[in-house]
Structure 1
Amino acid sequence: MASRHPTAFVMRDRNWHPPAYAPGYKTSVARSPRQALVAIQTPTPSELTGPTFGDLELGAHDNDLTLNYREGTARDGLPIGERIIVYGRVIDQFGKPMPDTLVEMWQANAGGRYRHSKDSYLAPLDPNFGGVGRTITDADGFYRFRTIRPGPYPWPNDPNSWRPAHIHVSVMGPSISTRLISQLYFEGDPLIPRCPIVNTIRDADAVETLVSRLDMPRSRSFDCLTYRFDIVTRGALQTWFENL
């Protein structure tokens, strides 16, 4: 993501990111590029200008996935699963907050199934959980979601591959071309080091940028745990994103 401060442009270190061709992650074989990538040396107007979201009108529960899809209003209309809060801060490589940034998320339900026509996993759909939310960062770059902790699920990379519990996160930068998409994992999940997708990342420190941390002081007693996931958009400590 390009910085909102055009005079402070920092080139991306591509060694921080996994190779596009990673045979252990089988679908990368067919979709990886066959020609060398072209690096943009100087940002153009399309990288420095674009939509703004400070005036975007959000629904009352757009960032609360426990409420934004349920069919009823009684307690039995709530989604099934462990309620959690996920929050964090979006900053640039110099630690400056990124206010008015659109942050979107989508995920599987507590059983590990997405509300998607092509998801055929045997876990049931939850009639009160859509699995999609959005919010805008505040003046200090903070965002916040309330949701259900997603379940792991099998996928056909090999006979016994399982995805760790994860939430997809999208951050919209200062232009359409700087939309970034990644995945948020949960601290302590034993499936993280077993995941073929995670294992395409060669640097252990880069993997750690994808792991949310349990934040007990911000957890709600007798209600839900809280996890913090900060996003650094550029520089040496940048959060790794799938499409860079």
Structure 2
Amino acid sequence: MLRSPTRALLSLEGTKSEIAGPVFGHNMLHELDNDLILNYARPGEMPIGPRILVHGRVLDESNRPVPGALLEFWQANAGGRYRHKKETYLAAIDPNFGGVGRTITDENGYYWFKTIKPGPYPWPNGVNDWRPAHIHFSVFGHGFAQRLITQMYFEGDPLIWICPIVKTIPDKSAIERLVAPLDMNASLPMDMLAYKFDIVLRGRRSTLFENRPEGN
């Protein structure tokens, strides 16, 4: 009996039950769903804070694009406050910023959205613990049961490495994959800086997902 393969391994296309996407169409999006700067602003007004562009690709374990994946994102405003009823942080609510949006990856697995750079906020479980600026992401595949949730941090933020939640991640390289580098090539002159955040669904270079801690 042979205990190992005698020929080179082949890469096979996954079945519908094995693929993490796609199923969603662009007809389910509204015009400003991926523009968090405008999608909650009152006519003639703008939210407060640095304007940024976040972009990247959704990829599988073989570095192939995942088209048609639905991404949803939510975040605090520039002062570090979320817009929901149970928020207790003292920072002010921005009446022109809702902090939620969504988009769908194109045929190359590419996505982008505009937003306001979120601020840090205190974590109530500690005496003086703070969460670094971050944006929450969810990725939907073939069914809602396959929703994957992660967070994106910003390059150069000193709070990342002292955040009590980040400290629970034992793999430093997994943390680094959650940090979006500044991308000056995609930045818009006199308008907004850009940050690039690729999401890898499976494999050794997988993004760390909160509801799939092993990341694979």
Instruction: State TM-score, norm by structure 1.
Output: 0.79
2:72 maps to 104
How far residue 6 of structure 1 moved from its aligned partner, in angstroms, is: 2.1
- 1:158-237 equivalence runs, <5 A: 158-237=126-205
Q: 1:5 to 1:173 in 2, by over 3 A?
A: farther
One-letter identity of the residue aligned with 2:125: N
Q: Provide closer, same or farther for how the CA distance between residues 129 and 46 of structure 1 changes in structure 2, counting only shifts above 3 A.
A: same
Mean Cα deviation higher: 169-178 or 61-70: 169-178
Greater helix share, structure number: 1
* 2:134 maps to 1:126: no
Is 1:60 matched up with 2:31?
Answer: yes
C-alpha contact (below 8 Å) 1:164/1:195 kept by paired residues = yes
CA distance in 1, matches of 2:26, 2:77: 30
* Amino acid of the structure 2 residue aligned with 1:59: H
Q: Compute the TM-score of the two structures, normalised by the length of structure 2.
A: 0.89
Distance in 1 (CA, whole Å) between partners of 2:133 and 2:98 is 17
Paired with 1:64 and 1:219, the residues of 2 have a C-alpha distance of: 15
The corresponding residue for 1:6 is: 14
Question: Identical aligned pairs, as a percentage?
Answer: 60
Separation (CA, whole Å) in 1 of partners of 2:211 and 2:75: 18
Taking the aligned partners of 1:51 and 1:143, their CA distance within structure 2 comes to: 14
SS, match of residue 199 in structure 1: helix
Moved beyond 3 Å, runs of 4+: 45-51
1:24-66 CA-to-partner distances (Å, cap 9, x unmatched) read xxxxxxxxxxxxxxxxxxxxx7655988212542111100000
Higher relative contact order (CA 8 A, sep 6+): 1
- Structure 2 counterpart of 1:71, which letter? R
Cα deviations by residue, 1:190-216 (Å, 9 ceiling, x for unpaired):
000001111111111000110001001
2:8 corresponds in structure 1 to none
Amino acid at match of 2:73: M
Q: Which amino acid aligns with 2:25?
A: G
Q: Please state if 1:139 is matched with 2:147.
A: no
How far apart in 2 are the matches of 1:193 and 1:204?
10
AA aligned to 1:172 is F
The answer to whether the Cα contact below 8 Å between 2:22 and 2:68 also exists between their aligned partners in 1 is no
SS class of match (1:117): coil
**What do the CA deviations read for 1:130-151 (whole angstroms, capped 9, x no partner)?**
0000000000000001000000
1:16 alignment partner in structure 2:
none
Task: Give the conservation status (yes or no) of the 8 Å contact 1:93–1:237.
Answer: yes
Aligned length: 201
CA distance in 1, matches of 2:66, 2:172: 26
Measure the CA separation in 1 of the matches of 2:13 and 2:70: 18
Unpaired segments ≥5 residues, structure 2:
1-11
- Offset, 1:157: 1.8
Aligned-residue offset at 1:174 = 2.1
